Structures are given as structure tokens and as C-alpha cells.
Amino acid sequence: MKYFMAALSMLFMGTIAAQNIKGKLVDVTGSPIEDAGIFNKTSGQHSHTDGTGHFVLGRTSANDTVYFSKLGYATQTKVVSQSDLQDPITIVLEESSISLDQVVLVSEVDALSRVVDVDVKTNPVKSSQEILRKVPGLIIGQHAGGGKAEQIFLRGFDVDHGTDVAINVDGMPVNMVSHAHGQGYADLHFVIPETIENVNFGKGPYYADQGNFNTAGYVNLKLRKSLDKSMLSTEVGQFGARRFMGMFNVMDNQNSNAYLASELYLTDGPFDSPQNFNRINILGRYRYALPGDQELLLTASHFSSKWDASGQIPQRAVDQGLIGRFGAIDDTEGGQTSRTNFVLNHNKNLGTGKSLNTMAFVSHYDFELYSNFTFFLDDPVNGDQIKQFEDRLMAGAKMVFQNNSANLGETGFKYHAGIGFRYDNVDDNQLSHTLNRQELLNRLAYGDVDEVNGYAFAGAEFKSGKFTFEPALRLDYFSFDYINKMNELYDSRSEEKVAFSPKFNTIFSLNENTQLFLKTGIGFHSNDTRVVVANEGEEILPAAYGVDLGTIIKPADKLVLNATLWTLFLDQEFVYVGDAGIVEPSGKTRRMGLEVGARYQPMDWLYLYTDANYTHARSTEEADGEDYIPLAPDFTMVGGLTMGGDQGFSGGLNYRYIDDRPANEDNSIVAEGYFVTDATLNYSVNNWTFGLIVENLFDTEWNETQFATESRLFNEPNSFEEIHFTPGSPFYLRGKVTVTF
């Protein structure tokens, strides 16, 4: 007992002896600056400002050197005095052009995300399709007329539409569990590109606050809390493309502000059968903040989209001259979808570095998609068109307590803990055989899904010298319920499952310009409820075991380099194939890879970046030569450059490359790679900007998505398995005019 009391006394004395520096960061107008970095060069401690601009930095002593940094502001350096440790300080940051020298490498597990934020700020997202491309190594492909969620590739995964990448917007989950089209389906088209503040991401299963679908990584979009200026923009381009966008300040006073944003996008696309695509987005956001006390964000948004699609076409039909590259076998494909969201974010400052963050959301979503992948393989008379439909209500909440000022004697100590839940109620989840989007021929699957995910997580950060240790643990509980409406008798089945996901990350900061990291952790993705009940709850939360070893180096003020060696092993899993209504087992897989990247800003007006990714992906339970993972990319590369400033001429050039990759298990069918270049050119004068946007600058012939599919055309006696593809956009020119006021 006496030893326990002695240890407790030492802990208490250490806590009392520790010193904090606290205060707030504001701009020259006195407005608070959120998420600015505070870094103690002497001790290695770091912190960030909250939504009201306030911060607490622990283990700080007189004569320590502290950096205050934020992209878009000139970095401030301060030598701490004794009086700074007694009374709150106010640091004023002056606006400056975006620059790599504003990036400070702090000991954070997602430090690369803050470096890549320069990419977003210097070359803002121009379309909803471009959002995910900001993540280094992430490749996307569209294959249903622009209205369907993009296919995602990351770290040797064909993620489909989101099965192995967790995607959130201000904490609200985007991935759909037990979706009619595919598990983890993530449609980001409800986000207006101009409302994005930054793109936060992490690769691998190393983040306790990220749960379901976080195996290859996660992406979290943060939207603007306020607008500097109102904006109107219009685009007109080839293929009947028209886009109209507006963002308007509707309130701006000392403690409150609000804005509205809206987007209308219309296009026929380059296809022989017009897409007749239309999408409308509306968003409203209200913010109330009491400096040093709390911040409340209320967000409401609605998205609706309709389209006709040409779908995937067989290579042989093009080779035989039956159709052109932009033709269609079944031009009655298409669909419609909508999503309405209500989100609450609340940040309460509890004093001395403690905070409580709460997020709650309600979302209504519907989806109707008509596709035809095999044409006349199963039904030689009516064709194989299918309809996928669902009507979904989602609700959830999360609460996270964080303490950034705890101390354990001479060891820096922070911790956080959170709890939350998500509930999905999906009615009339169905797969049906249809004709010309009009006639229902027969149902293949039809039922109601109820799925609950409750979770808790906790993590800590221990800093000792140049080392930072981050242990964490996550616990997830799932309840799966399915009512099969195909049976005449009431058929309801339920299963429950629990997943434990430990993480342990280590960061070694040699100095403020060099860090090494070792990340380890276990993640998972849930399987479709229909898989769960069909498999009687066995092996339905397949685990992913990951290790990353890497470095981030800043050898010069305006040069940042990064490199990572990684491996990821996936357990046995069962996959529900939404297009066929069947359960398809797949075995264990192993992926190993190397990622390298560079960002360089030789002059204030010139910014260059590139990222290259190599992956070796194989099934571990198959024979050599039959162990390829279909569509898993082995080499990808992206990069570009941005030139110019706020006024006068500016522009950018970006490229993306994906290598040839196996389309089936024995690599006998190959999905061809591509190299595509996009460009922008702008001229800004006062508050007007005139721009040109060119996709596929060199008019490359490329296939955006490809699949090895067995199909039969109407006049064919036999079926064939070969590449079926959606052609990538040809040279595509748009003009844009933007005015701010």
C-alpha cells in the first residue's frame, strides 16, 4: 500500500510541477484561427487550437522556443517568458500565400495529411470526382453515367465503392452498410467541392476513432465553417455540360455566422446515348461560437441526381464494329438517388486543455439503379437487366473526451476516449430482373435490413524525449437483422458479433524536420447483413492486420519527402455480390507495398508534387499463378504542378497513371493501364476569375473502369469472358467564370 501511495504522490507532484502555456490565436481582424499548430521545438510537445482559437500546450518552460503555424499564415516563433506561463497569451498571425515552409512536422500519426493539405490549398478540388484523388495513391473510376459512386483503388485494393476505405464528412459516415449495390457503398456526390476546407486521411488500420471499413485507410472531409466572401460561378463545356454554383454569407456577427451553398450540374457526357445527367445540391450551415467556451455547428444538406448510363461494354463489340467506344449494348441503363442530411457538431472547452466533442446525424437516402452486365447470358429473350433499390434511414452519434494537458512526471501524456453508435434501417432492399427499366420480370432478392453498430474507443499519447508512443483500443458491437420478403411465411433472422481492434503507433522525431514512424494495428470491415445471416454469424467481421514503417523529411523549408514500407494481411471473408444476389467466399490475402512522395516549392508561385505507389497483392491460399487479386493495381503514380498567385495568370497540370493489372485470378485477362493529364488555366482580376478546365489534355484513349465478365450478345450462340469497360473521357473542355463579393 505504501508503494502505491508513494507512486501516487510522485504522479501528483509531477502533475503539479508541469507547466502549461495557454492562450489563443487570432488573425489581424481578431477572428479566431482554428486547427493552427503549436509546436515546442525544445520539448517536442505539440497541440492545436480548437474551434474558438484557444490552445493549451503542456510541458513548457521559460526560454523554450514555440512555433505557431497555420497554412495561409506566416509562421510565428516565440521564446517563452516566465510571464507567458502565468497568464494567457494572444498570438496574431498575418495572412500569407500558401507555402510549404508553413508546415511543421509534429508527432502525429496522420502527419502526412497536413503536408498534403498544401496540395488542396494550392490546387482546390474542381469536381466531386476529384475529391478522393487528393489522397496520395488513391485512384477512382466512374462506370455508370456519373450518378453512381466511383470505384476506388488504394493500396492494392479494388475497394469497389468503399468496402475497405472508411469515408466521412465532418464525422458523418458516408459508407452504406448492407447496400443494395455493394457493401460499403460511398457516394460523395452530395458534397459541393467549393465547400471543402481540407481533406484529412490516413492509410492502414491504425486509427482508433475510425472503425468499420478502415482497412486500407480512411478519408475525412472537413467543410468550411464560414465564408470569407460570397461567390457565384458558372461553367459551360463540351457534351452539353453546364454547372452553376453559388455560396452566400447570410449571417456574420460577433458570435454567429451562417452560409448557404447550392450547385446544379447538367451534362450529356461523351456517349452516343446521351446521359441526360442532372444533379442538384443544397447546403446550409450555421455556426455559433463563444470564444474559449464552446462552438456549435448545424448543417443541413440535400442532394438529388438522375441519369441514363451506357454502362460497361464488351471489347469484342467494339472490335467487330457493332458499336463505337462510346456506344452501348443496353442504353436503358441508369438510375436516380438522393440523400438528405442533418448534422450537429458541438465542441465544449472544459478548460486546461480538456474538451468534449459531440457529433450527431440523421440521414435519409434512397437509391435506384438499372444495370446490365451480361446482356443476354441468362435471359436470351428479355436480356439480363437488373434493378437494385433501397430506401434507408441512418442515425448516429459520437462523443469524444480529450485531455491534451495531462502529465506523468517528466513524461508528456495526452489521452482521449469516445463512445458512439450508428443505426441503419433499410426497407425494400432488392435485386430484381427487369426489362427496359419499365417491366419487373422477377425478384431475385427482396428484404428489410436493420443493422446497429455500437462502439467505444480510447487512446493515449506518451512522449518521452524524441519518442512518442500511441497505444489505443477499439471495441465494436454489431447487431444484424434481416427479414426475407421472398418467403411467404415471416422469415426473420438475427446475428450479433463483437470486434476488438488494438493499435500501437510509435513516432521518433529526430528534430522538427525529420520523423520516423512505426504503425501497427488491426482493423476490419463488416459484411453485408445478408452474408451474416446466410453464414450464421461465422467469420463475418474479417480482420485486417497492418504494419507501416516510414519517414517524413523536410530537408529544406520548401521541400518535403516521404516514404513508407507497409504490409496488410486480411482474414477469410465472405462477400455478398449485389449484382447477382449470391454469397461468394474469398480466401486470405496479403499485400506488401512501397510508397514514396515529394512536394517542392522552389518559388512562391510554383508548387510541384508527385506520389508513386507499388503493391504486391496475392491470395495466400491459392496456387502460384492462380493467386492474383482481380483488378488490384500494382503500380500507380500521380503528380502535378501549380503556378501563379491570387491575381493575374495561374494554372496547373496534373497527371495520373495506373499500370496494367490482372483482371482475373490467373492473369490471363489483363486490364490495360493508362496515363491521363488534366490542365487548368485561370486569369484573375480584382474579384473576377476566368478559367479553362481541360480533362484528358492529350485526348488519350483510355478505359476508366474494366472488368473480366462473361457475357453473351443477342446474336451470339455462345458466351465469352473478356474485358468489359467504360471508356474514359476524351478531350473535355470547359470554361468557367467566378465572381466573389
> Which ranges constitute the DSSP H helices of 494-645?
529-534
Q: Which residues contact 41 (CB under 8 A, 6 or more apart)?
A: 64, 65, 66, 67, 512
**Residue 582 pLDDT exceeds 70:** no
Q: Are 203 and 164 in contact (CB under 8 A)?
A: no
Residues contacting 664, CB < 8 A, separation 6+: 628, 630, 708, 721
Q: What is the mean pLDDT of residues 601-612?
A: 95
Instruction: Place 128 in a pLDDT band, splitting at 50, 70 and 90.
Output: low
C-alpha cell at 701: 484513349
| Long-range contact pairs involving 85-88 (C-beta distance under 8 Å, separation at least 24) | 85/19, 85/20, 85/21, 85/60, 85/61, 88/22, 88/23, 88/24
646 vs 685: CA distance, rounded Å: 9
Q: How far apart are CA 128 and CA 192, in angstroms?
A: 7
Is pLDDT above 70 for 583?
Answer: no
pLDDT of residue 5: 39
Q: State residue 11's pLDDT score.
A: 37
Asked if pLDDT for residue 2 goes beyond 50, the answer is no
pLDDT digits (tens, 9 = 90+) for 347-396: 998 888 888 999 999 999 999 999 999 999 999 999 999 999 999 999 99
Summarize pLDDT for 468-495 with one digit per residue, the tens: 999 999 999 999 999 999 988 878 899 9
Closest-CA residue to 45 (of 503, 406, 555, 551): 406
The pLDDT score that the predictor gives to residue 30 is 78
Q: How far apart are CA 605 and CA 99, in angstroms?
A: 9
21 vs 473, higher pLDDT: 473
Radius of gyration for the alpha carbons in the chain, expressed in angstroms and rounded = 26
Q: Where are the beta strands (DSSP E) in 125-276?
A: 139-141, 151-154, 157-160, 165-169, 172-173, 196-203, 217-223, 231-237, 241-252, 256-267
Question: Rounded CA gap, 262 and 264, in Å?
Answer: 7
Q: Residue 663: which residues within 8 A CB-CB, separation 6 or more?
A: 630, 631, 669, 670, 671, 706, 707, 708, 723
Provide mean pLDDT across the span 260-269: 96
Average pLDDT of the chain to the nearest whole number: 90
pLDDT at residue 741 is higher than 70: yes
Residue 207 has pLDDT above 90, yes or no: yes
Q: Does an H or E element contain 499, and which?
A: strand 492-511
Confidence at 158, pLDDT banded by 50, 70, 90: confident
Q: Is the CB of residue 37 less than 8 Å from the CB of residue 69?
A: yes
Q: What is the pLDDT of residue 306?
A: 95
Reply yes or no on whether the pLDDT at 173 is more than 70.
Answer: yes
Q: Cell for 573?
A: 471473408
Most confident of 52-66, 94-108, 163-177, 287-301: 163-177
Local structure of residue 32 (DSSP, 8 states): B
- Residue from 726, 724, 723, 721 nearest 703 by CA: 726
Q: Distance (Å, rounded) from C-alpha 656 to C-alpha 140?
A: 10
pLDDT of residue 13 exceeding 70: no
DSSP string, 689-735: EEEEEEESTT----EEEEEEEEEB-TT-SS-EEEEEEEEPP-SEEEE
pLDDT higher than threshold 60 for residue 3: no
Distances (CA, A) of 315 to 710, 724, 726: 12, 6, 10
pLDDT on residue 234: 97
Interatomic CA distance for residues 502 and 711, integer angstroms: 44
pLDDT of the residue at 645: 83
Question: Residue 65: phi, psi to the nearest 5?
Answer: -100, 125
348 alpha-carbon distance from chain centroid: 26
Instruction: Please identify which residue in the block is written with the cell numbers 493549451.
Output: 56
In three state form, how does the secondary structure of 311-353 look? CCEEHHHHHCCCCCCCCCCCCCEEEEEEEEEEEEEEEEEEECC
What does the pLDDT read at residue 449? 96
Structure confidence at residue 575 (pLDDT): 56
SS (H, E, C) 200-215: EEEECCCCCCCCCCCC
- Residue 510: CB atoms within 10 A of its CB come to 12
Q: Is residue 543 within 8 Å of residue 526, measured between CB atoms?
A: no
Percent of the chain with pLDDT over 90: 66
Give the Cα separation of 41 and 154 in Å (integer).
35
Range in 315-329, 424-438, 523-537, 589-603 the model is least confident about: 523-537
For the chain, the first-to-last Cα distance in angstroms comes to 69
Give percent of the chain above pLDDT 70: 95
Question: What is residue 640's predicted lDDT score, i.e. its pLDDT?
Answer: 94
Confidence (pLDDT) at 319: 95
The yes-or-no verdict on residue 585 having pLDDT over 70 is no
Residue 107, CA distances (Å) to 43, 441, 561, 630 in order: 12, 59, 16, 37
Q: In what order do the strands lie in the sheet with 217-223?
A: 172-173, 165-169, 217-223, 196-203
Lowest-confidence pick of 12-16, 23-27, 455-459, 605-609: 12-16
**How confident is the model over 538-558, as a mean pLDDT?**
92
Q: Which of 315, 317, 333, 310 is nearest to 383 (CA)?
A: 333
Whether residue 672 is predicted with pLDDT greater than 50 in this model: the reply is yes
Grid cell of 19 as nine digits: 507547466
pLDDT at 1 over 60: no
Q: What is the dihedral of CA 443, 312, 671, 178, to 10 degrees?
A: -40
**Residue pair 186/367 in contact by the 8 Å Cβ criterion:** no
**pLDDT (tens digit per residue) in 34-63:** 888 888 888 778 888 877 788 888 788 888
Q: What residues form DSSP beta bridges with 608?
A: 600, 641
Helix (H, G, I), strand (E, B) or coil at 262: strand
Secondary structure (3-state) at 663: coil
Residue 8 banded pLDDT, cuts 50, 70, 90 = very low
pLDDT at 680 over 80: yes
